[in-house]
């Protein structure tokens, strides 16, 4: 079955420290992978995507993600966390089901402490 897993419900990090939010996936074929962020009472905002090419993808607000095909992972990273990065982060993968749909992980809540 095609799926996305975010193994951590919550990640806590101190401001200024690097952060990593983990994501693994299971799809057939080559995946299109995405990260979205959701602030309270808001819709999801697109952060970055992986299509093909360089394994390190750069996105909005200083975030980047590393695609690892052998480990089927797409971890979100940021070198120096800000308190304002505190939010809910979703990993997603586009799957081919005859049509096309996107499957989202359950989300990881990031807390950045000042």
* Chain residues in the site for other proteins (CB under 8 A): 4, 32, 34, 36, 41-46, 49, 51, 90, 92, 94, 97-107
Shortest distance in whole angstroms from residue 17 CB to other proteins: 26
Continuous segment of H or E residues that includes residue 38: strand 32-38
**Minimal distance, residue 92 CB to other proteins, in Å:** 8
Nearest distance, CB of residue 114 and other proteins, angstroms: 26
Comparing CB distances to other proteins, the nearer of 22 and 49 is 49
112: its two tokens: 């950045």
Q: Which is nearer to other proteins, 42 or 113 (CB)?
A: 42
Separation CA 51–CA 94 (nearest Å): 10
Instruction: Find the DSSP H helices in 1-114.
Output: none
Tokens matching residue 113: 């402490």
Q: What is the CA radius of gyration of the chain?
A: 14
Q: How far is the CB of 29 from other proteins (least distance, A)?
A: 12
Three-state DSSP class for 3?
Answer: strand
Nearest to other proteins of 48, 112 (CB atom): 48
Q: Which is nearer to other proteins, 58 or 101 (CB)?
A: 101
Q: Which long-range contacts (CB under 8 A, 24 or more apart) does 40-46 make?
A: 44/90
């Amino acid at each position: 079955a095609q799926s996305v897993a975010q193994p951590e419900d919550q990640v806590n990090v101190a401001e200024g420290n690097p952060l990593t939010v983990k994501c693994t996936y299971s799809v057939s074929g080559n995946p299109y992978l995405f990260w979205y962020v959701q602030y309270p009472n808001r819709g999801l905002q697109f952060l970055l995507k992986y299509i093909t090419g360089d394994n390190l993808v750069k996105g909005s607000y200083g975030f980047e993600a590393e695609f690892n095909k052998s480990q089927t992972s797409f971890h979100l990273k940021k070198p120096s966390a800000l308190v304002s990065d505190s939010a809910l982060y979703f990993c997603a993968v586009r799957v081919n089901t005859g049509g096309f749909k996107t499957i989202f992980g359950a989300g990881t809540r990031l807390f950045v402490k000042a």
